[in-house]
């Protein structure tokens, strides 16, 4: 019994030692890290949204219920048009929907209270 336990333990130690041997293949982390990232060529849009969020977060007076209602109304009108028209996947209206949604998002994100209508549109 003692001999079987010793052999099993020795086998485990040898297997563990083999697993500790590093792989010789090289990974070019530096090359991968310096490669061109996935770009949408929309840096201006992201910068605009970030500045809009920062501005809305700093000055709560900008986020009036009327402004939010107007933006949500625009979003709903685009959704309604999509439902009525049944456009093809490459239709421009989907770009309009995305733009409208992303223009509303920083205003909603800057609010202290969650807006259930925004989540309804999102879902």
User: In this structure, is residue 56 part of a structural domain?
Assistant: yes
User: In this structure, is residue 91 part of a structural domain?
Assistant: yes
User: In this structure, is residue 87 part of a structural domain?
Assistant: yes
Residue indicated by tokens 């807006």: 115
Structure confidence at residue 28 (pLDDT): 63
Structure confidence at residue 81 (pLDDT): 92
Structure confidence at residue 37 (pLDDT): 61
User: In this structure, is residue 62 part of a structural domain?
Assistant: yes
Helices (H), the chain: 2-19, 29-33, 43-58, 65-85, 92-110, 116-122
User: In this structure, is residue 95 part of a structural domain?
Assistant: yes
Segments forming the whole domain that contains residue 71: 43-122
d(CA 50, CA 42): 13
The model's pTM? 0.57
* Structural domains counted in the chain: 1
Structure confidence at residue 35 (pLDDT): 62
User: In this structure, is residue 7 part of a structural domain?
Assistant: no
User: Could you read off the pLDDT tens digit of each residue along the chain, which spans 123 residues?
Assistant: 888 899 999 999 999 998 888 877 766 666 655 666 655 677 888 888 899 899 888 887 777 778 888 888 998 899 899 999 889 888 899 989 988 988 888 888 888 777 777 777 677
CB 69 within 8 A of CB 108: no
């Amino acid at each position: 019994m003692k001999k079987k336990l010793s052999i099993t333990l020795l086998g485990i130690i040898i297997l563990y030692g083999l697993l500790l041997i590093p792989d010789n293949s090289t990974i070019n982390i530096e090359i991968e890290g310096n490669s061109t990232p996935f770009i949408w060529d929309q840096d201006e849009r992201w910068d605009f949204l970030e500045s809009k969020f920062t501005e809305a977060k700093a000055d709560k007076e900008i986020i009036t219920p009327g402004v939010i209602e107007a933006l949500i109304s625009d979003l709903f009108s685009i959704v309604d048009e999509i439902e009525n028209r049944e456009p093809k996947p490459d239709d421009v209206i989907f770009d309009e929907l995305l733009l409208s949604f992303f223009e509303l998002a920083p205003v909603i994100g800057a609010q202290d209270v969650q807006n259930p209508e925004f989540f309804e549109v999102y879902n």
